[in-house]
């Protein structure tokens, strides 16, 4: 692998774009030094960069591309719609069509509003909750990394620069699978919490009774239950993780896999709350989601094609099967190389990640960088192990082989010192207060 063009472009990217990219999680600080490719095209589970390198890619579009890059049924649907225009002075008929397809798949969606990204959808849900309850505080799950770019959440993150202290104090945190921590918040802030916000699952499964307990506590304390399904929706189950686990949220937010990489997200839920963003009620109106490009027709066409493909093909089953095969192969290879305890394979088969631990068993960014360095050399681009529908059995086999070879280097670095093998500076967390 050669990266001459990419390394020449890096300075230009940083000169024009703060951080060198429009998404922090895609930044070159997330990749080994001098090995951060700039992509020019993708097909299925493969991508090609400006230097002509080809990679098997995982985590496509930060989990947004679930069917595969340039997936023909989705691209064709968007292309056909482009011929009729993408944005008008009045709602397009396709907005209703797409809403009905969405509601067929998500039974809890009595009403739905489309927008462009997950942040707007989740912030819209919180706005509804605050209007509905007349309260200001929001309780978010401390074990889940990201809910919105907006002040209410970023102020509580590890990168709160520019957020007023008063805003930061309005977000409080509880722990996943820990109802006692939820009780403690309701006791500490009686009649002040507007909403509970969390994902259905990250890398730890919900314990029996957890979501039922959340539902009961929200009802008892008058808080709104908001479920973030940006990642789990259309990946855990075609009807969302709420269907898989029997979760009953008041509001839920979807995006990412919903339109196979096109910019479409959704806020959906109970009519009693959603209608506050309309005008058929006698309460104070909520300026909910009103964006110029929120219902661009080609994006909605892509979303409809994606959702219909889920209804007629074994997408979920394939994601789970491919992920299971990948996880088993990697665990076996790691064990054989003597690094099984140092490189755990974590999460559901449909949404895997890998850990990286040093010789003391502690999480290590330098060792993560070393592993990625060796994988990139072998044609695998993997900040995660998240598969899409287009990953073939051959892709999985090649990936396992690449990891097996990288594990040998990892073992040597554990024994001889990572300085003998790591070629540049280590990667850094995407959300951090200082450079």
pLDDT of 113: 98
pLDDT of 282: 87
Token output for 397: 């086999």
pLDDT of 93: 98
Mean pLDDT value of segment 274-296: 93
pLDDT of 14: 97
Buried b / exposed e along 303-316 (16+ C-beta atoms within 10 A): bbbbbbbbeeeebb
The pLDDT tens digits for 166-221 are: 999 999 999 999 999 999 999 999 999 999 999 999 999 999 999 999 999 999 99
The pLDDT tens digits for 118-172 are: 999 999 999 999 999 999 999 999 999 999 999 999 999 999 999 999 999 999 9
DSSP code, position 69 = B
**What order of strands is seen across the sheet that includes strand 46-49?**
39-43, 46-49, 54-57, 380-381
Task: Report which of 386, 342, 380 is spatially closest to residue 364, judged by C-alpha positions.
Answer: 342
The pLDDT tens digits for 65-105 are: 999 999 999 999 999 999 999 999 999 999 999 999 999 99
**Is residue 29 domain-shared with residue 95, that is, in the same domain?**
no
Residue 378's domain is classified under what CATH number? 3.90.1150.10
The answer as to whether 309 is a domain residue is: no
**Is residue 92 domain-shared with residue 221, that is, in the same domain?**
yes
Q: Is 18 a residue whose pLDDT tops 90?
A: yes
**Is residue 63 domain-shared with residue 99, that is, in the same domain?**
no
Rounded CA-CA distance 33/17 in Å is: 19
The band of 107, judged by pLDDT with boundaries at 50, 70 and 90, is confident
**Is residue 54 domain-shared with residue 138, that is, in the same domain?**
no
**Is residue 194 domain-shared with residue 103, that is, in the same domain?**
yes
The answer as to whether 378 is a domain residue is: yes
**Number of folded domains in the chain?**
2
The answer as to whether 76 is a domain residue is: no
The answer as to whether 350 is a domain residue is: yes
Looking at the chain, how many residues does it have? 435
pLDDT of 243: 97
Mean pLDDT value of segment 38-67: 97
Last residue of a domain, one of 295, 328, 347: 295
pLDDT of 46: 98
**Is residue 267 domain-shared with residue 340, that is, in the same domain?**
no
Strands (E), 98-189: 111-115, 137-141, 171-174
Pair 153, 230: CB distance under 8 Å: no
Q: Residue 116's domain spans which residues? A: 87-295
Q: Is 265 a residue whose pLDDT tops 90?
A: yes
pTM above 0.75, yes or no: yes
Mean pLDDT value of segment 281-293: 92
**Is residue 227 domain-shared with residue 287, that is, in the same domain?**
yes
The answer as to whether 64 is a domain residue is: yes
**Is residue 270 domain-shared with residue 378, that is, in the same domain?**
no
Last residue of a domain, one of 295, 327, 344: 295
**Is residue 16 domain-shared with residue 142, that is, in the same domain?**
no
Q: What is the DSSP string of 220-266?
A: HHT-EEEEE-TTTBTTTBTT-HHHHHT---SEEEE-GGGGTTSS-EE
**Is residue 232 domain-shared with residue 379, that is, in the same domain?**
no
Strand partners for 354: 345
SS3 421: coil
The answer as to whether 269 is a domain residue is: yes
Residue 242's domain is classified under what CATH number? 3.40.640.10
pLDDT of 273: 98
The answer as to whether 405 is a domain residue is: yes
The pLDDT tens digits for 367-417 are: 999 999 999 999 999 999 999 999 999 999 999 999 999 999 999 999 999
Rounded CA-CA distance 306/74 in Å is: 6
The answer as to whether 273 is a domain residue is: yes
**Is residue 167 domain-shared with residue 265, that is, in the same domain?**
yes
pLDDT of 233: 97
**Is residue 323 domain-shared with residue 394, that is, in the same domain?**
yes
């Amino acid at each position: 692998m050669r990266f001459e063009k990419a390394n020449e472009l890096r300075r230009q990217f940083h000169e024009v774009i703060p951080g060198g990219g429009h998404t922090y999680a895609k930044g070159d600080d997330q990749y080994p030094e001098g090995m951060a490719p700039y992509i020019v095209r993708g097909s299925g589970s493969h991508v090609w960069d400006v230097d002509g390198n080809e990679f098997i890619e995982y985590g496509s579009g930060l989990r947004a591309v679930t069917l595969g890059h340039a997936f023909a049924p989705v691209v064709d649907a968007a292309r056909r719609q482009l011929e009729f225009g993408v944005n008008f002075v009045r709602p397009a008929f396709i907005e209703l069509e797409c809403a009905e397809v969405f509601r067929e798949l998500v039974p809890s969606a009595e009403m739905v509003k489309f927008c462009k990204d997950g942040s707007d959808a989740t912030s819209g849900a919180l706005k509804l909750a605050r209007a509905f309850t007349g309260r200001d505080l929001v309780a978010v799950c401390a074990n889940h990394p990201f809910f919105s770019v907006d002040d209410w959440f970023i102020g509580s993150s590890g990168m709160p620069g520019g957020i007023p202290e008063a805003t930061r104090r309005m977000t409080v945190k509880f722990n996943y699978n820990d109802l006692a921590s939820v009780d403690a918040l309701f006791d500490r802030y009686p009649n002040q919490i507007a909403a509970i916000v969390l994902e259905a699952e990250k890398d730890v499964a919900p314990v029996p009774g957890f979501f039922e307990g959340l539902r009961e506590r929200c009802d008892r304390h008058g808080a709104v239950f908001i479920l973030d399904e940006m990642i789990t929706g259309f990946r855990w189950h075609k009807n969302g993780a709420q269907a898989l686990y029997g979760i009953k949220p008041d509001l839920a937010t979807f995006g990412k896999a919903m339109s196979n990489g096109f910019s479409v997200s959704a806020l959906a839920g109970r009519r009693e709350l959603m209608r506050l963003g309309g005008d058929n009620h006698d309460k104070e109106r909520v300026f909910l989601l009103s964006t110029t490009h929120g219902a661009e027709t080609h994006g909605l066409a892509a979303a409809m094609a994606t959702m219909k493909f889920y209804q007629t093909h074994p997408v979920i089953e394939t994601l789970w099967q491919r992920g299971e095969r990948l996880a088993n192969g990697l665990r076996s290879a790691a064990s054989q190389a003597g690094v099984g305890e140092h490189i755990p394979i974590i999460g559901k088969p449909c949404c895997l990640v890998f850990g990286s631990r040093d010789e003391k068993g502690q999480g290590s960014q330098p060792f993560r960088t070393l592993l990625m360095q060796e994988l990139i050399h072998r044609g695998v681009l993997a900040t995660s192990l998240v598969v899409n529908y287009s990953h073939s059995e051959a892709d999985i086999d090649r990936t396992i082989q690449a990891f097996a070879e990288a594990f040998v280097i990892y073992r040597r670095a554990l024994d001889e010192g990572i300085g003998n093998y790591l070629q540049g500076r280590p990667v850094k967390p995407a959300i951090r207060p200082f450079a």
